[in-house]
A and B are shown apart, each in its own frame.
Chain A
Amino acid sequence: MRKNNNVRAPESQKRLKVKIADNPEDIGAMVHIEINEKKVSVPLGTTILEACRKNQIHIPTLCHHDDLCIAGVCRVCVVEVEGMKTLQAACSFPITNPVKIKTTSPRVRRARKNILDLLLSEHYGECYACVRNNNCELQALAKEYGVDHYNFGHIDKPKFQVDNSSYAVVRDMNKCVLCKRCVRTCIDLQEVGVLEAINRGEATYIGTFFDKPLADVICINCGQCINRCPTGALHANDPRDEIWAAIDDPEKHVIIQTAPSPRAAIGEEFGLEPGHSLTGEMNTALRRIGFDAVFDTNFAADLTVMEEGTELLLRLYKALAKGEPDVAIPQFTSCSPGWVKYLEHFYPDFINHLSSAKSPQQMFGALLKTFYPKIKNIDPANIVTVAVMPCAAKKFECNRPEMTDSGYKDIDYGLTTRELAQMIKEAGIYLPELPKSGFDDPFGDATGAGLIFGATGGVMEAALRTVLELVTGDKIENIFENAEIKPVRGFEGIRYAEIPVTKVGKVPGIISHLIPDFEWLKGITLKVAVAHGTANAKKVLEDIKNGGKFSHCHFIEFMACPGGCLGGGGQPIPTNAEIRRKRAEAIYKEERTLNYRKSHENPKLIRLYNEFLTDGPCGSVSHKLLHTTYTKRGSFIV
């Protein structure tokens, strides 16, 4: 394998190579500067922007994003540095000598205003007819600078056709301000490489390879670009109209399932600080909107744990006990549709490593149009299934041709957290004030294991809780304090853990027909890893290709989005590390309060296996409804 030493993003967009000293006491580690005549000390190499932020001095920004490398292209953040003829971009200027900075001098203010006026002159459309109305950085800047008319005119005809070819992401380049955040997200953060600047000068726009529609290129639909777009140039493909129509149709039985991450973030859309879970309030709102049944995707997550965990044990049994050579190990998780498509495009030879288990959304969809109508006596043709997801890629996933195992389209619509918040607002509801309510039966109970699917490492933790208990016969609490498997938690890009299996128990009845005993697992060290963000996934995959540490893993969790689902492309905007951390806290906090915290203990799930999936996990019914196949897509763009 060739070593990739090629620079991904243009050098101009890389972080500056200024080393920040570890010890501020070292000579030269701190620089004494003046900002607006106030004396402050900052570590050598701090940018002016960082220095100002630390000292409560506001600098407007547009192309800057905390998650991304520096661009320095919008020039909105310019400040005056004494002794320099031109203004300097605060976001990219590293402080290496005792500079004197002015952030609001007349020159600075005039320059910022002019730049803003220029951006507005090219920004097509009106704020009231925009998906980002009230949550737009350009609009906020215009307000901050009191723009009340267009100094340099305003474009009155669209230059570009809107690209809504993709199920997930809609691109409206008429609203683009060329901050290149999406480019940096796609190339640098996610290493997918779909978007780049095309042409130069006035003719520049952000485009795809040969200007093909997004659906025809190797976009993985992660939607991270949407989360980082400062304006309405990128947004998700919105199914609200169709969903409202279904709700208004008395013939239709409209079901909604809600994933774990939206509930931890939807409050942000209503002005709450990040980190408030609104599970119960959301359920009430969904009923008031008119959904006929409200289910918890966490239930399906528990089901996924059972199916995927069993598949893992089966793979390990075949490879380790029976010595079958063609078993693909490590097994990769398959819950994240962005990740799945990434693998299909960029590492198609690895698709046999993917768990054949569908994602919770799609498992649920298959049940909702088979098992559910049977017990409710409803014609499945009249059932409309909606999934509230933190995700843009779920919109694509539910449209995959494979996802029709019920005989119908298993999930009709994927709805993002943002879009649901919009529906709630349209219904005249202020979410945080609503009374709480629970989920509907027959899937009313879900476990904490399902809930933590929302955070990176959660699928791994949930699966380990179940697999370890099934294998050892011991309580997980005896192995990990409070059942919290800390080594797989956190936000580090790639995490690795080894768990020695010191004792094994009897094979539980539910899978005893598949595996006769666990003796072969005794003494083995279970090696697992977690990666989030496809750039990290790529590192792990390259390592596996090269026969490195990760090729010896047994099970690896991959999530396309940084932070896992809680940082998904359908989540409230803005996003940054701090917001993602707070959302994770909300999820883990709620998890601790739940009655059941291990998937295999979910009573409603046990009932499902007893009544419907009667031949157990990975049995014939579950294989038909709950498992799927993948396509070697490759990365050649036709």
Chain B
Amino acid sequence: MEGVKHNRFGPVIFSKYERGSAIERALAMSREDILFELKNSGLKGRGGAGFPTSTKWMLTAAAISDKKYLICNADEGEPGTFKDRVLLIEYPELVFDAMVVGGYTIGATEGIVYLRGEYEYLLDSLNDYLNGMRKDNLLGENILGKKGFNFDIRIFLGEGSYVCGEETALIESLEGHRGEARNRPPYPVNTGFMGKPTCVNNVETLATISHIIVKGSEWYKNFGTSKSKGTKLFSISGDCEKPGVYELEWGMKISDVLKLVGAKDTKAVQIGGASGVCLNSSQFDRTLAYEDVPTGGSIIIFNKKRSMLKVLKNFMEFFVEESCGQCTPCRIGNVKLLEAVKMIEENKLTFGYLKKLKELAETMKIASKCGLGQSSPNPFLSIIENFKEEIFNYAGGGEYAKE
């Protein structure tokens, strides 16, 4: 059963933190100072897209409006990702405190947590937690005595749609529409929820902010590489002895990660969930960092027994089901890529057609309306490229094969 708290160790997110301390600290700072701290920390969005968090906050803070919103994106739907679940169960204070800090910084009065429907079992405990915060004046009016600073948080439950993790689709969903991504520009920082400036942050981004506010950006910058500051939560699963959530500094080699989690006979690693890329063993010395292999933190490990074609099929089936269906490249493109996998299974795919499909995949990446269609060809391209010997049975041996 879920809900059990573990003892976790990590340099930043899993380091010691007391509820409310980020709020207390932030309220003693000016908004400019908070934004400076964030900028100095180099924190980038932890949902996967990697947009600088300080810029997002700055733009929302600069937008002029009678009402602004801060939204916590807890629609963690990427297969192989579960770090937000752990944060919400075990470290809700990090997430909610940062939302209050965000509300203070950007001038929002309302925070909304968009919680994926699959996590409905967390709803009651999270609401209880929020009530506790209200009781202690960490939410509500004149928070911690700061006159005129009012902020509250409510939780909105998703209804089972992966694409709602895309921020504009998420906003559409909040407004009671189909979760179809909007045209951008205008961006949510100008025209977001209910047409008001809206800042959408990932759960982990927020959790990190709480620590940065309390301990300072200089401290945070001690971790990671020169271009990728700080740490990252990794959801590690698949063929390994110790699956789970790990807080690791940016810049770690994939092979070291594999060692850490007790992976043996590893053939492939899917980085970034279904929409990420799949690497083969020749690439395991690459590092996890924005400058090399950027990721939203999902690592799925496959050992030598796994059929990569089946893996790819599972991914493509997922995208065909979860595409919202509004734009052509994503709606039909994913179907064509899935068909291709089936053609390979039936030994019907010609290399001529495969070439066309690769071009199609490139088109999907640049012409789809939102991130879903722009990233769904990633597993197709990387698995077909990195595992072509296996998939096209280069060394199968024909009738001389064992089976």
Contact = CB atoms under 8 A, between A and B. Distances in A.
* Physical contact A–B (CB less than 8 Å): yes
B365 A12 contact: no
A201 B324 contact: yes
A119 B183 contact: no
A126 interface: no
B260 interface: no
A121 B332 contact: yes
A12 B184 CA distance: 9
Interface in A77-136: 78, 85-87, 89, 92-94, 96, 107, 110-111, 114-115, 118-119, 121-122
Interface residues of B, number: 44
A94 B185 contact: yes
A136 B88 CA distance: 53
A122 B321 contact: no
Interface stretch (B103-111, B214-222, B356-364): B356-364
Interface string B315-359: 000001111111111011111100000000000000000001001
B183 A114 contact: no
Contacts of A72: 183, 327, 369
Greatest chain B CB density within 10 A among A10, A74, A197, A199 is at A10
B324 A86 contact: no
Interface stretch (B93-101, B136-144, B172-180): B172-180
A202 B320 contact: yes
Nearest to A74: B328
B175 A11 contact: yes
A166 to B, nearest CB: 25
A178 interface: yes
Contacts of B363: 110-111, 114-115
A79 to B, nearest CB: 10
Interface in B369-388: 369, 374
Residues of A contacting B: mostly: loop
Interface in A1-15: 7, 10-12
Nearest to B364: A114
A204 B325 contact: yes
Contact of B325 (A17, A119, A197): A197
B287 interface: no
Interface string A146-183: 00000110000000000000000000000001101000
A71 B183 CA distance: 8
A16 interface: yes
B369 A89 contact: yes
Contacts of B356: 151-152
Contacts of B172: 10-12
A94 B186 contact: yes
B321 A201 contact: yes
Given A12-B172, A12-B180, A75 B321 contact: no
A78 B6 CA distance: 49
B175 A73 contact: no
- Find the residue from B178, B327, B362, B367 having the highest chain A CB count within 10 A: B367
B360 A75 contact: no
B183 A202 contact: no
B182 interface: yes
A375 interface: no
B336 A121 contact: yes
B208 interface: no
Given A74-B327, A78-B367, A118 B183 contact: no
A203 interface: yes
Nearest to A16: B186
A532 to B, nearest CB: 28
A178 B325 CA distance: 9
B161 interface: yes
A73 B177 contact: no
Given A12-B168, A73-B328, A110-B363, A93 B185 contact: yes
B323 A200 contact: yes
A202 B195 contact: no
A70 interface: yes
A200 B178 contact: yes
Interface string A183-200: 000000000000001011
B298 interface: no
A510 to B, nearest CB: 57
A202 B365 contact: no
A415 to B, nearest CB: 35
Nearest to B180: A12
Contact of A11 (B182, B324, B362): B182
Contacts of A121: 332, 336
Given A12-B180, A110-B363, A202-B320, A73 B369 contact: yes
B218 to A, nearest CB: 32
B338 to A, nearest CB: 9
B329 A114 contact: yes
A201 B320 contact: yes
A85 B180 CA distance: 21
Nearest to A116: B328
Contact of A73 (B161, B320, B327, B334): B327
A90 B360 CA distance: 20
A12 B370 CA distance: 12
A137 B270 CA distance: 42
Nearest to B320: A202
A369 B175 CA distance: 55
Interface in A412-437: none
Contacts of B360: 114, 118, 152
B276 to A, nearest CB: 17
Nearest to B340: A152
Given A11-B172, A17-B195, A118-B333, A107 B366 contact: yes
B53 interface: no
Contact of A96 (B185, B191, B336): B185
A87 B366 CA distance: 5
Given A11-B172, A94-B186, A203-B325, A119 B180 contact: no
Given A10-B180, A199-B325, A17 B331 contact: no
B374 A86 contact: yes
Given A17-B186, A107-B366, 6 more contacts: A92-B183, A94-B185, A115-B363, A118-B333, A122-B332, A180-B326
18 contacts: A10-B177, A11-B175, A12-B326, A17-B191, A72-B369, A73-B328, A73-B369, A74-B328, A75-B327, A75-B329, A78-B367, A111-B367, A115-B328, A118-B360, A178-B328, A178-B331, A200-B322, A202-B335
Interface of A: 7, 10-12, 16-18, 70-76, 78, 85-87, 89, 92-94, 96, 107, 110-111, 114-115, 118-119, 121-122, 151-152, 177-178, 180, 197, 199-204
